[in-house]
Chain A
């Protein structure tokens, strides 16, 4: 009650009358503590109207004892304290409020650019710990700050100053941050589409209509959510060469057989060289978010749509052209007999020709050299 009335006091007109008394008490404190309390800054801050004793409530006398009870922010901020209590940052000794909110005597509203939790400052604030290799290792976490700051979100935030760019708390929340293993967490796998959908509503709707979205919605957590393809922190602009280069193995980490057959094709051979990223990669044909099976007439790989799909790159693609199998398996005699025998023939031709001539030429070399030495007609020269 005392604190509540103090706030009322501070906000009200009584401020004028009580100012000298507060100043008097504050001056007493600052007589010793001016080294780390900047009175000007403090008064400009969110808590500027409070008296020292409002937070440092256990200090009644002057001089006070050497050891004082730490300030309890939760005496006012009950909701935040409750959230924090069940979170990954519950250990208050390790994670005091000031670790995120900064200097207790210079706390600003989160909409104020001076605030440590202003959207554009959050990555730096969180990065103080989550950009630290030793701390990351200690807690078994990835060192995410560098990943985030180079991502499309981090770039939009740090370079362009976009307030709407996702910062740490856009996905993780603020006080009640939970491990992604916790089904309540917004970063729990099943919750990720919804969480990303807070901003990316259109894409999430597409995703929900595709095979992956449906599988996740039906409880199959082996199916990918946003972060499985885009990663959680190091998210890249998907049209960028870097992402195009690394995306195929991502799909292939689940679709192993498809990756291996894709690897045998010209698409893959060119694609993995880099520099020319326009060669067909998984989603160029299958779609990215609303992946549908070929049996679905809406799918880009449905037989009726193939000419259009292949025609995106191959001008002049026709019904015969799309008979090409982008995932043909030359090792499978039943599925691709013609290809199987072509490959077999070529391999036998290669092995047979080389095998014969390697033996032939080795024998020849040995015999010629023997002859050369025997006749001594050529001292390393010609016509042995």
Chain B
């Protein structure tokens, strides 16, 4: 059925159904799944420690069997995320350095920021204010690159400071004394930044804004409709079309079970994230 649709779609795009285009590979989708699962786990176990005086932290702690359980799962998720990060690094360097794949470290498809991103940011803000046209985004828009690098550097800093606390006597051999104090500040502040950012800014920018509301399914299904592709990333669409490579990007309309499964997972993640956001804010403002 899916194959039929794809064939039909490619022949008669406007009548027999929309065409779907690949945006993310299976590996990238799994990486995102591992990322948000471990992130939710780290946030859910990290926040009670950060706000251990709050009304919900102790209840949560006693509910799960105390701090021992919390730190165990925090470390577990941390190790899984570290492995995922290392796999990602290996992937990037293999593709970029060994396979000499174009567009990994620079170019239109790279995650590395370029001059267009600066222009897009200003252009976008001008459009917000009604002062100019909407920028024509490429494969990764500036806020998506920001998300990527925020997570990238966040993992390095939060990870390093976390391991420094976990193995403090070892790290103390080559870190100055004050660094043992500083790692907690770095870990908790940057963790908090990540939590606040992901559960508010990333959720809205990527999923909850009117263009994608209530959720952008592309990270779960890997494909998006042609119309969505054209609207959201016109410059990429035009570039791929001009190169005559649109056909090679054609994907399969996601089956219903995958959509439903993705929705269940995605809505759960957003719900947990928003819940944690409310708890975090409540710890700040209620106590």
Contacts and interface: CB of A to CB of B under 8 A. Distances in A.
B65 interface: yes
B196 interface: yes
B80 interface: no
Contact of A315 (B165, B169, B190): B169
B169 A316 contact: yes
Contacts of B184: 265-266
Contact of B172 (A323, A360, A366): A323
Nearest to B68: A276
Contacts of B211: 368, 372, 382-384
B185 A314 contact: no
B70 interface: yes
B189 interface: yes
A317 B169 contact: yes
Nearest to B63: A275
A336 B178 CA distance: 8
Contacts of A318: 169, 172-173
Interface string A329-366: 01000001011001100110110011001101101111
Contacts of A382: 211-213, 227-228
Interface in A287-341: 314-318, 320-325, 328, 330, 336, 338-339
A1 interface: no
Most buried by B among A268, A317, A338: A338
A336 B52 CA distance: 24
A53 interface: no
Interface stretch (B35-43, B99-107, B198-206): B198-206
B109 to A, nearest CB: 22
A277 B179 CA distance: 26
Interface string A254-284: 0000000001011011111111100100000
Interface stretch (B3-11, B83-91, B125-133, B236-244): B125-133
B182 A275 contact: no
A72 interface: no
Nearest to A384: B210
Given A366-B128, A382-B212, A358 B201 contact: yes
Contacts of A279: 67
B178 A346 contact: no
A176 B158 CA distance: 65
Interface in B224-247: 227-228, 231-232
B252 to A, nearest CB: 19
Contacts of B212: 382
Contacts of B53: 263, 272
Interface string A118-138: 000000000000000000000
Interface stretch (B54-62, B253-261, B268-276): B54-62
Contact of B181 (A273, A339, A358, A363): A339
B52 A269 contact: yes
B180 interface: yes
B152 interface: no
Contacts of A321: 168-169, 172, 180
B52 A273 contact: yes
A141 B190 CA distance: 50
Given A323-B177, A342-B186, A383-B227, A364 B205 contact: yes
Contacts of B189: 343, 346-347, 349-350
Contact of A273 (B49, B165, B182, B227): B49
B231 A320 contact: no
Which 10 pairs, one residue from A and one from B, show the smallest C-beta to C-beta distance?
A275-B66, A323-B177, A276-B67, A346-B189, A316-B169, A321-B172, A363-B128, A324-B180, A273-B61, A338-B178
Interface of B: 48-50, 52-53, 57-58, 61-62, 65-71, 124-125, 127-130, 143, 150, 165, 168-170, 172-173, 175-182, 184-186, 189-190, 192-193, 196-197, 200-201, 204-205, 209-213, 227-228, 231-232
